[in-house]
């Protein structure tokens, strides 16, 4: 898992790749800007009722620099929102797993109390109870292992985010340029991280479904044990009643013979 999140130094610069590319020469802060930049806007001509062009001029580089900074801030905000959404999704997934685990533990405690109360293992022969219990434990261990993996994934993403910010500051200080190929590589790595989180969630859902199915089978086994116990009790009562009737008949015959 960690190989998907650790790469070369260029793979850690996430946000800055959105601010550079084929137009890197224009957005480079050390590039030479024109003395006068034309900005064209449209308005309606009252004579012809058609759009007409109106021009205004930027006398220095400050206005162009402000436009560049505004575009750059919007790109950084978009990338930050994407990472916040991913982290929020992982946090919700961990919370859901925690609640599921608590429910499973509660069901296990109730099941153990019921087994101790009825004392099934001492009264009836085992019919696969231990095998079903081992299967439940195995599923729970798999879910716990996936929870650890999800926590490790979240920690790795936070580390990658810190490294990205540090590398981004370095790139801005040196006015570095990233190519389009590097930008595509960064986007691919981000998509891989999202895909990994989705796969974990699907795997956990699948295991949870299997665990519920195993629990349902186990409950059916317990119900069968209860039915067998009730049948045995009724059979014992009938046998006792028959013995009592036989003894009474023997007493009558003895009295009659005397």
Q: What is the pTM of this model?
A: 0.24
Total domains, the chain: 1
Region of residue 128 (phi > 0: left; psi between -120 and 50: alpha; otherwise: beta): left
pLDDT for position 249: 57
pLDDT for position 21: 42
Residue 251 covered by a domain: no
Residue 95 covered by a domain: yes
pLDDT for position 258: 52
* Phi, psi at 222, each rounded to 5°: -60, -40
pLDDT < 50 positions in the chain: 1-47, 50-60, 124, 127
Closest CA to 103 of 197, 206, 201, 215: 215
Residue 176 covered by a domain: yes
Residue 126 covered by a domain: yes
pLDDT for position 250: 57
pLDDT for position 218: 87
The two three-digit tokens of residue 24, written as one number: 């890197």
Residue 250 covered by a domain: no
Residue 27 covered by a domain: yes
User: 25 lies in which domain range?
Assistant: 2-43+54-240
Residue 22 covered by a domain: yes
pLDDT for position 2: 41
Non-local CB neighbours of 229 within 8 Å, separated by 6+ positions:
118, 120, 123, 124
Length of the chain, in residues? 258
Residue 159 covered by a domain: yes
């Amino acid at each position: 898992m960690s190989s998907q999140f650790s790469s070369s130094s260029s793979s850690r610069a996430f946000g800055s790749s959105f601010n550079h590319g084929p137009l890197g020469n224009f957005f480079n802060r050390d590039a030479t800007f024109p003395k006068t930049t034309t900005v064209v806007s449209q308005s309606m001509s009252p004579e012809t009722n058609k759009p007409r062009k109106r021009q205004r001029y930027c006398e220095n580089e400050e206005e162009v620099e402000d436009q560049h900074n505004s575009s750059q801030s919007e790109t950084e905000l978009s990338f930050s929102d994407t990472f916040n959404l991913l982290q929020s999704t992982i946090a919700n997934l961990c919370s859901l797993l925690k609640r599921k685990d608590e429910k499973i533990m509660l069901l296990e405690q109730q099941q153990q109390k019921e087994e101790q109360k009825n004392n099934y293992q001492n009264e009836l022969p085992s019919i696969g109870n231990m095998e079903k219990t081992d299967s439940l434990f195995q599923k729970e261990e798999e879910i716990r292992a996936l929870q650890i993996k999800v926590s490790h994934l979240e920690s790795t993403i936070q580390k990658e985010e810190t490294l990205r910010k540090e590398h981004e500051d370095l790139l801005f200080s040196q006015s570095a340029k990233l190519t389009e190929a590097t930008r595509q590589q960064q986007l691919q790595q981000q998509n891989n991280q999202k895909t990994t989180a989705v796969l974990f969630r699907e795997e956990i859902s699948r295991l949870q479904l299997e665990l519920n199915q195993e629990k349902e089978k186990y409950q059916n086994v317990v119900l069968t044990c209860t039915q067998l116990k009730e049948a045995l009790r009724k059979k014992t009562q009938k046998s006792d009643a028959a013995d009592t009737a036989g003894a009474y008949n023997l007493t009558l015959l003895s009295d009659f013979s005397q």
